[in-house]
Structure 1
Amino acid sequence: MLTAILVDDDYPVIRYLSQAVSWSELGIELTGCYYSGLEAWEKARQNPPDLIITDIGMPKMNGLEMLEKFRAMKPGIRAIILSCHNEFKYAQQALKLNVGEYILKESLNIEQLEHALRTLVKEVGLNRQQHTEMQVYKQKQSQNRAALKEKFLKDTLYQSWDKVAWIEQARSNGIMIHAKTYIPMLIVIDRPEEASRVRRMSEYTISFAVENIMQEVLEADHSLFISRYSHKEIVILFCSDQSSRDHQAIYHSIQNAASAVQKYLKLSVSCIFGTEARSPEEIRGTLQRMLKEKIHRFYFPAAGIHRFEEICFSRDDIYAEYGSVYAVINDDIALNREPELRVHVKEWREWVASQKFHPNEVKECVLRLLMDLQMKTKQLLQSPLPMAEEKLFNVVSDIDTLEHLEDWLVQYLEELARKISIFSIKSKRSEVIKAQQFVISHVTEKITLEDMAGRLNLNASYFSRLFKRETNQNFIEYVNMLKLQKAKELLNQSGKTVEEISEYLGYANKSYFIKLFKREMGMRPSEYAAWH
């Protein structure tokens, strides 16, 4: 349904037209009636209508001036003029503004206006259909082009070619890559899962956008071939006839392209140069190593430009320092010392980087550390593990770089420390200790301040002040904090719906539970579950 507004400083005309025209039968929703061009512009410009029916002569801003402003914002907007003026100059101006009909008020009848509106509705509908068809065509054309490039890339990677046949195969697909030498490059999207969550875009869409930006920036100065290999990897072949001269220019262009990705998509990419190649066989060898041997990217910092080199990993024992590392991190978690925790994890990461251990060994060591800490947490709190072993293994295995592993590990350990801190009982007053113990063991029940005070044979106001003084926290805040901690565990592990969890934790009102969860976590329970 199209939207329309009426604009006329003559109130009876506005009232008559708004009631007499069969708007809904015409497929039009009348969204506003205004008594001057200025009022219409100020109130409707945030959401411009599809159609405007307007007078010309109005104070402060006439109808033609208003139409000119709306058309600058929405070029496809259509209009019908209702005017007392029959002078040629007004009709001429109206034609320039794509006015569908110019009707003199003295000869106006509803049938004439409805006929004009019906014509405009058909025209707008046809234009929209044509626009949609064109967008579909362009999308299919782009998809076909991308599919051809991806097929050519796979042919290059997995088939043997002589150079003449390879160049001819490329040309038949509209790809021009004739050159003396080729400089292969791999573009890796840093942390695509996080980027997808933050940008609320699929990983496929993100890689498509990165490819387009890189191509647009780089093609201005270089002959190249670019294609996605996966949702987080894009391959570029720079065509060069004087590689010694081109290397510096390509490096500078890559910096600009990576900056453009950061600017427009708010995410970073790592750019990895491969060995210069002269034939399809050399290109295939270089790219296959870069794509398959991801372990050699493990120590690359994010958002950098690197040269691909195979690393000779250390054969020393990564567990030689395990005991001391576990001890300091365990103390940091037990005492909820977040600054010290970050420092100690950073020191461990720097030691690992200096030794260049095999990435699989590093991940195995991290998993052992986490499982040891989780088991101790389970024994201490008598509660489920924060994350199941299988999920931990999958999450850690999917991390590609040491830098990312450090950030994730710190985040996970801080969450573990907060969990322990929540359940720690620091008060010396027996009444407060009993109250905290009761809440911990009855977290799925409905617990009120009055009920708790009654259990302790205390006045509710006195108990509230006592609990606040001892814990620096209101009793109900403490109850909700433990319930939300339990809710996160259930969202991660149980498969229960939000409504089931709300009811299980003693919340009679699901909306109240969702409101509390969002205030604490910055997202709704359903979003938290999808994220984890």
Structure 2
Amino acid sequence: MLTVMLVDDEVNVIEGLKVSVEWEKHGFRIIGTAYNGEEGFTKAMEYKPDLIITDITMNKMNGIELAERIREKQPEVSIIFLTCHKDFNFARKAVNLNIDEYLIKDTMTREEIYAALAKIKVGIEERQKKKKAKELTIELNRNRCQLSEILINELLKKELVDIHSFERRLNIYNYNLSKQKYILSLLTIDRYIDLLKSNTFNKEEELIQFAVINVVEEILKKYDIGEVFPKSENSYVIIFNYNPNLKISMDEKIAVVLKEIQSCVKEVLKTTCTAYIGRQLGSMHELKSAYEDILSLKNNRFYMQDGLVLYYSKSEAKFSNIDFHYVNDLLKEFDHHLDNRNLELLTHLEYLFFEKVKKENIFAVDVKLVIERFVNSLKKYLQKNVFMYQPVLPDSYLNQLSYMDSVHELNETFHNFLKSVLEILNKNAAFTCTPEMKKIIHYVTENLQEEISLDTVAAYVNMNSSYFSRYFKSKTGGNFVDFLTNMRMDKAKELLADTDLSIEEISIMVGHVNKAYFTKVFKKVTGSNPGEFRKKRYSRRI
């Protein structure tokens, strides 16, 4: 049964529609009524009807405005305009809103209403079928990608003992690698974090993965030269598979294929991708060592521009470890300038560090470790001195480091991050913790695994509960319960990322004896359950 909501500032119109139309007989059920556009919008957001029948001329918000606002939030909802003779032409001008039907109030008959409902019902049901088909396709693609990812990770991380068993598994997923020679290639999406933030994909990692897989599969099929497997959210393994042919230079053919793949990926994603090419192999047994060879190119990539093709056979660059005595001295100096909130000296220190890194070709992993220590230093400082730090330091920032494949991207993003932190610190003193707020934060931090309430914390800082609640809101702009929940979830994320403790153990350590309730709260705050969060933390590595 489809749902319908009626909106009109004339009570008799709404009542007339209620009693004169046999809604359920025609597959509809009235779930709400509203007597002006503003009320209609509020109820539409709450009830989410399949169909809205609304007058155009109303107080507070007319039907056109109502339709515009609803289309922004619920683009698939069907809308029928009720209009008078005098504003019928005006209603017709609203074609850009994609209104489903127009009925003239003074002359509309039951037959016209039933015809409109029948037409809309067909449209809604057709959309629902397409939506279900799309969801099924996405689910099938998701399952295939997940299974393929497991398969390729197993191949590249373990010694291949039973090749025949592995070939049977490949066949189950319709992969064909039956030719004589192999060349392993790795494809990584450049500026992946920026891509996730873009309006095109809006954090939909699966959509990006499906798009890349489809592009690469189509091109490989066109040249009949191999298979592609998802390796992680932003990386893909291509196994070029071919029979030797003295008339064709396989290196040249693969170069052409990769150039086409890079071009098509850029067209679809609006960003570049970098390709790594290994040596020629005579057996799938060699794929694991070939992948390890390719990983060694990651340091070369770190100091190059985006969108290139890197060949293992041409890798000659030398890299060095960073001097961690230098790093410790650097961090002490960084903390000193941070205490003084000196933007100029902090950014100069950052500049000197990245210049040293580029000059000495420091291993990428070392550079990221230092940046991670910088970020943790900033986070501790903010937690100690500033309450409202969450917008500046999203919890995902440290995870984002693993996506950054170039020193240029890392330098740019860290610089912007540092700048935004210092802007908040210097913006105004209102954000800085008062002695009372420091006591509150200290108490909560030290007692996260205990049962904490507003009353217990109020007593700790010698305030009554009512005054404490007002005081806390005046200093933070939020309520204490939300603050406590966020502190507990922050600690949970830290433990999930940095320890091997079970989810049940972590639940208890952050004050939730009930694991199921902890999981529910965690998902509400972060958007994923604890297991998914931990998996993403570790899977975002090549």
TM-score normalised to structure 2 length: 0.54
In 2, are the aligned partners of 1:367 and 1:396 still within 8 Å (CA)? Answer: no
Q: CA deviation at 1:313?
A: 6.3
Please say if 1:348 is aligned against 2:353: yes
Q: CA deviation at 1:508?
A: 0.5
Distance change (3 Å), C-alpha of 1:174 and 1:401: closer
Instruction: Tell me the distance in 2 between the aligned counterparts of 1:305 and 1:282.
Output: 25
Counterpart position of 1:142: 141
Please say if 1:243 is aligned against 2:250: yes
Distance change (3 Å), C-alpha of 1:366 and 1:54: closer
**Secondary structure of residue in 1 paired with 2:470:** coil
Aligned length: 424
In the alignment, residue 351 of structure 1 is paired with which amino acid?
K
Q: Report the more deviating stretch, 319-328 or 488-497.
A: 488-497
> Which one of 63, 70, 73 corresponds to residue 98 of structure 2?
73
**Secondary structure of residue in 1 paired with 2:279:** coil
Counterpart position of 1:447: none
Distance change (3 Å), C-alpha of 1:169 and 1:397: closer
Distance change (3 Å), C-alpha of 1:51 and 1:299: closer
Counterpart position of 2:212: 214
Distance change (3 Å), C-alpha of 1:343 and 1:134: same
In 2, are the aligned partners of 1:5 and 1:52 still within 8 Å (CA)? Answer: no
Q: CA deviation at 1:307?
A: 1.9
**Secondary structure of residue in 1 paired with 2:228:** strand
Distance change (3 Å), C-alpha of 1:410 and 1:53: closer
Say which one has the larger Rg. Answer: 1
Distance change (3 Å), C-alpha of 1:19 and 1:190: same
> Counterparts in 2 of 1:296-307, with a 5 A limit?
296=299, 299-300=302-303, 303-307=306-310
Instruction: Tell me the distance in 2 between the aligned counterparts of 1:410 and 1:209.
Output: 30
> Which one of 271, 274, 277 corresponds to residue 278 of structure 2?
274
In 2, are the aligned partners of 1:175 and 1:225 still within 8 Å (CA)? Answer: yes
Please say if 1:227 is aligned against 2:226: no
Q: Report the more deviating stretch, 45-54 or 345-354.
A: 45-54
Counterpart position of 1:508: 470
Instruction: Tell me the distance in 1 between the aligned counterparts of 2:268 and 2:175.
Output: 24
Please say if 1:44 is aligned against 2:46: no
In 2, are the aligned partners of 1:334 and 1:417 still within 8 Å (CA)? Answer: no
**Secondary structure of residue in 1 paired with 2:89:** coil
Please say if 1:481 is aligned against 2:503: no
- Alpha-carbon deviations, 1:236-256, whole Å to 9, x = none? 234566423324423433442
In the alignment, residue 215 of structure 1 is paired with which amino acid?
I
Instruction: Tell me the distance in 2 between the aligned counterparts of 1:140 and 1:416.
Output: 40
Counterpart position of 2:55: 33
> Counterparts in 2 of 1:365-384, with a 5 A limit?
none
**Secondary structure of residue in 2 paired with 1:139:** helix
In 2, are the aligned partners of 1:170 and 1:176 still within 8 Å (CA)? Answer: yes
Q: Which runs of 5+ in 2 are unaligned?
A: 33-51, 72-76, 243-247, 390-394, 480-484, 491-524, 527-532, 534-542
Instruction: Tell me the distance in 2 between the aligned counterparts of 1:492 and 1:498.
Output: 10
> Counterparts in 2 of 1:265-344, with a 5 A limit?
270-290=274-294, 296=299, 299-300=302-303, 303-307=306-310, 309=312, 318-319=323-324, 321=326, 325=330, 329=334, 332-333=337-338, 335-344=340-349
Counterpart position of 1:435: none
Instruction: Tell me the distance in 2 between the aligned counterparts of 1:373 and 1:526.
Output: 17
Q: CA deviation at 1:318?
A: 1.6
- Alpha-carbon deviations, 1:217-244, whole Å to 9, x = none? 4455443422222344322234566423
In 2, are the aligned partners of 1:275 and 1:286 still within 8 Å (CA)? Answer: yes
> Counterparts in 2 of 1:57-136, with a 5 A limit?
61=89, 69=95, 73=98, 77=100, 108=109, 126-127=125-126, 130-136=129-135
In the alignment, residue 212 of structure 1 is paired with which amino acid?
F
> Which one of 254, 259, 266 corresponds to residue 266 of structure 2?
259
Instruction: Tell me the distance in 2 between the aligned counterparts of 1:365 and 1:412.
Output: 15
For the aligned residues, what is the CA RMSD?
Answer: 6.2
Q: CA deviation at 1:135?
A: 3.3
Q: Which runs of 5+ in 1 are unaligned?
A: 85-104, 423-472, 518-523
Q: CA deviation at 1:27?
A: 1.4
**Secondary structure of residue in 1 paired with 2:174:** coil
Q: Report the more deviating stretch, 223-232 or 490-499.
A: 490-499
Counterpart position of 1:184: 184
- Alpha-carbon deviations, 1:129-161, whole Å to 9, x = none? 534542343233223432453355346434648
Instruction: Tell me the distance in 1 between the aligned counterparts of 2:379 and 2:123.
Output: 63
**Secondary structure of residue in 2 paired with 1:354:** helix
Instruction: Tell me the distance in 1 between the aligned counterparts of 2:137 and 2:377.
Output: 55
- Alpha-carbon deviations, 1:466-508, whole Å to 9, x = none? xxxxxxx9xxx63543349959976995659997999779560
In the alignment, residue 2 of structure 1 is paired with which amino acid?
T
Counterpart position of 2:3: 2
Q: CA deviation at 1:62?
A: 9.0
- Alpha-carbon deviations, 1:251-285, whole Å to 9, x = none? 4334424534653xxx7754433334454234343
In the alignment, residue 307 of structure 1 is paired with which amino acid?
L
Distance change (3 Å), C-alpha of 1:525 and 1:193: farther
**Secondary structure of residue in 2 paired with 1:508:** helix
Instruction: Tell me the distance in 1 between the aligned counterparts of 2:400 and 2:132.
Output: 45
- Alpha-carbon deviations, 1:399-454, whole Å to 9, x = none? 875736656765787689789x87xxxxxxxxxxxxxxxxxxxxxxxxxxxxxxxx
In 2, are the aligned partners of 1:55 and 1:81 still within 8 Å (CA)? Answer: yes
**Secondary structure of residue in 1 paired with 2:432:** helix
Q: Report the more deviating stretch, 396-405 or 235-244.
A: 396-405
Instruction: Tell me the distance in 2 between the aligned counterparts of 1:56 and 1:395.
Output: 58
Counterpart position of 2:510: none
